[in-house]
Structure 1
Amino acid sequence: MTKIKLCGISRSEDIAIVNHLKPEYIGFVFAKKSKRYVSSNKAADLKKELCDDIKTVGVFVNEPIENIAELFRKNVIDVAQIHGNENEDYIDNLKKLVDIPVIKAFQMNKVTDISAVEYSKADYILLDSGAGSGETFDWESVKHIKRPFFLAGGLNEHNVAAAVKDIHPFAVDVSSGIETNGVKDGIKMADFVAAVRKEDRL
């Protein structure tokens, strides 16, 4: 079954919807330049409202590893997703501090060596079009990647079923595609999850 990550969760209202829809993951964005940024205290409060069987992913850009480790130790996040210039040594050093699963994001419009993606030390890789661009990339370019991956970038309730059918990602990741005027939209969230689950059943 394709896993689902609903990213950029920032309000109690979002958590209530998430608890009903039951995606496998939600994302808290800790990058301060993002319009979806949440503070560590806010994320901790939201985590308390979240169903125990939904994992929280902290989204970071070039964050000091000690900060990520502290959020993991405090049970604010279950997984770390890194979106900046973090290299293999960064992943090693983070894992020396805490035993946290790591997702490394790659902007496919900048990738010149696909082997760097396939052989990343991260537990999971995430293939994106850009840093929150809300646009898709050429999915054909990743059909032959052998390791499981999260697919992100421009996904919405209208195209996610085709993505699941055509390239069989381990998980799909959406943020702007489930928003209206920059705010999470409960109807779009529900339609996105339903489209993935329906395609999985076919």
Structure 2
Amino acid sequence: MKKDDRIPKIKLCGLSRPEDIEAANKCMPDYIGFVFWEKSKRKVDKEKARALKQKLDPGIKAVGVFVDECVDVIADLLNEAIIDIAQLHGSEDESYIAELKTKTDKPVIQAFQIKDRSDIIAAMGSSADMLLLDSGQGCGSSFDWELLKEADREFFLAGGLNLSNIEGALDAITPFAVDVSSGIETDGVKDSQKMQEFVNIVRNMK
């Protein structure tokens, strides 16, 4: 059995097409992610996200991914239930999170780029509801997972996860959730077979 016999939750991020939602509804991750960052090739806007959310199984939570977005824009998406959770991936600080919390009661995930132990310490002090520990903004590469053994809060593990390394990652650590994007793509678009296989690997870990 894994260290605490707990199966991590699963987030499939960067969904942007109706067929991505259809595939997610079949494999039923705990979360999916809509990316609202202008520079992402997976970017969706408000109306596209609304249409996709309407097709999403209600048992799956939709996370909106943002980079230094206006607080009001995020609060609007949350309060209209286009997304259920906000994920902050930029330089957002404690005052930003506090302001967002005055405009919505929905959960907030703060992402941290982990390079060394000091980044772990900074992450643990965040007032966000949840943490995501990553190697960068969708860079598709992993980092030294040994650093995460010092984490004393639950976190989403992201950064370079794919079908070939997810078992090794979960043998090394037991995150609250795992987050994958490029690792379930083929030629830059979501691959329904890889999505299902990733979910199966995580849920069948012993």
Q: Which TM class, normalised by the smaller chain length?
A: over 0.9
User: Which is further off, 108-117 or 77-86?
Assistant: 108-117
1:139 and 2:145 are equivalent in the alignment: yes
Q: Which amino acid aligns with 2:46?
A: S
Q: Which 10-residue stretch deviates more, 154-163 or 27-36?
A: 154-163
Among 106, 109, 112, the alignment partner of 1:100 is 106
Give the Cα separation in 1 of the matches to 2:97 and 2:117: 19
**Structure 2 gaps, min length 5:** 1-6
Distance 1:10 1:113, change over 3 A: closer
1:112 CA displacement: 3.2
What is the identity, as a one-letter code, of the residue corresponding to 1:39? Answer: D
Matched, 1:184 2:190: yes
For 1:71-90, list aligned pairs within 5 A: 71-90=77-96
8 Å CA contact 2:140, 2:161 repeated in 1: yes
Count of residue correspondences:
200
Q: Match for residue 152 of structure 1? A: 158
Contact 1:109 1:130 in 2 (8 A): no
TM-score between the two structures when normalised by the length of structure 2: 0.94
In structure 1, runs of 5+ residues without a counterpart are: none
Give the Cα separation in 2 of the matches to 1:114 and 1:175. Answer: 22
Tell me, yes or no, if structure 1 residue 66 matches structure 2 residue 72.
yes
Shift of 1:164: 1.8
What letter is aligned with 2:168? Answer: A
Backbone CA RMSD of aligned residues = 1.1
Report if the CA contact (8 A) 1:26-1:57 is conserved: yes
What amino acid is aligned across from residue 42 of structure 1 in structure 2?
K
Name the amino acid aligned to 1:98: T
Q: Note if contact 1:22-1:54 (Cα within 8 Å) is conserved in structure 2.
A: yes
| TM-score after normalising by structure 1 | 0.96
User: Any idea what SS the aligned residue of 1:70 has?
Assistant: helix
Shift of 1:111: 6.8
Please say if residues 113 and 119 of structure 2, whose CA atoms lie closer than 8 Å, have aligned partners that are also in contact.
Answer: no
Deviations 1:65-94 (A, max 9, x none): 100010011110000000000001111110
Q: Is the 8 A contact 2:10 2:29 kept in 1?
A: yes
SS at match of 1:43: helix
Q: In 2, Cα distance between the equivalents of 1:111 and 1:86? A: 20
Q: CA deviation at 1:20?
A: 0.7
Q: Which residue of 2 aligns with 1:56?
A: 62
Deviation at 1:143, TM superposition (A): 1.2
Identity of aligned residues (%): 56
Higher relative contact order (CA 8 A, sep 6+): 2
